[in-house]
Amino acid sequence: MGIPLELSSLSCGLRIIQAKNIEFIKTTGNLFVRYYLSAGDSKKIRLNTREISTKSDHIWNESISLECNGSDSFVRETVVFELRWRNTVPVFGRIGGSQLLGRAEVPWKEVLESPNMELDKWVTMVPRSTSGRAIEGVKPPKLQVSIKVGVQAEVGIDKRRQRRTKKWDECGCEDGHGYGCTCADYEIFALAALLEAI
């Protein structure tokens, strides 16, 4: 008899590394990346990296980790990235809002189907000028990102089995009871269950 397994949650890690091909920005100011993550029920969480000078090396190397819902709707969602520019010269004593320079999306399904559920890539963005218009004849900006999904918890394991377990290894798998299941097996089972739900 197999172990009933339901995926309760996933750990999702996201790292914004750096940008390139943004030489078309001739003005001074700051760059940052705004990204949107699904929060369920058609809601999105909006996060920003720190702002760096347009004259810098365009490296953020910022990471975030969070718990993600393992539902089938999660697999249909995307991570949206926006490269944004902000003028740092005050106008009427105030710093204004930001302007979109480029936008790209990465589907969670692409991450889940990648080896070890980890995706490291340069994302090509649809470029926009600081006035908001599309730019022709210019290399599109690219953003280097790393996205990783891991199985955070398994639920539905037979309660009697849990009571008999005396020892757990560091990632929560049973040790020394002859069940023959490793942590890697649980991650594979969880991924298979998630992909079947699609």
Sheet holding 118-124, edge to edge: 59-69, 6-20, 142-155, 118-124
- The answer to whether the beta carbons of residues 145 and 14 sit under 8 Å apart is yes
List the one residue out of 60, 66, 64 whose CA is nearest residue 84. 60
CA-CA-CA-CA torsion for 109, 110, 114, 116, nearest 10 degrees?
-50
The CA distance from 129 to 107, in Å, is 25
Q: Does residue 147 contact residue 79 with C-beta atoms inside 8 Å?
A: yes
Residue-level pLDDT, tens digit, the chain, 198 residues: 332 334 457 788 999 999 998 877 767 889 999 999 887 777 888 999 999 998 889 999 999 988 876 666 777 889 999 999 988 876 666 667 888 989 999 998 999 899 999 999 999 998 765 555 556 677 889 999 999 998 765 544 444 444 443 333 334 444 444 444 444 554 555 555 555 555
Q: How many residues does the chain have?
A: 198
Q: Could you tell me the residue ranges of all domains in the chain?
A: 7-149
The C-alpha angle 135, 137, 143, rounded to 5 degrees, equals 65
CATH superfamily of the domain spanning 7-149? C2 domain (2.60.40.150)
Smallest CA-to-CA distance from 70 within 148, 4, 154 is with 154
pTM above 0.85, yes or no: no
Cβ burial, residue 198 (10 Å; 0-12/13-18/19+):
exposed
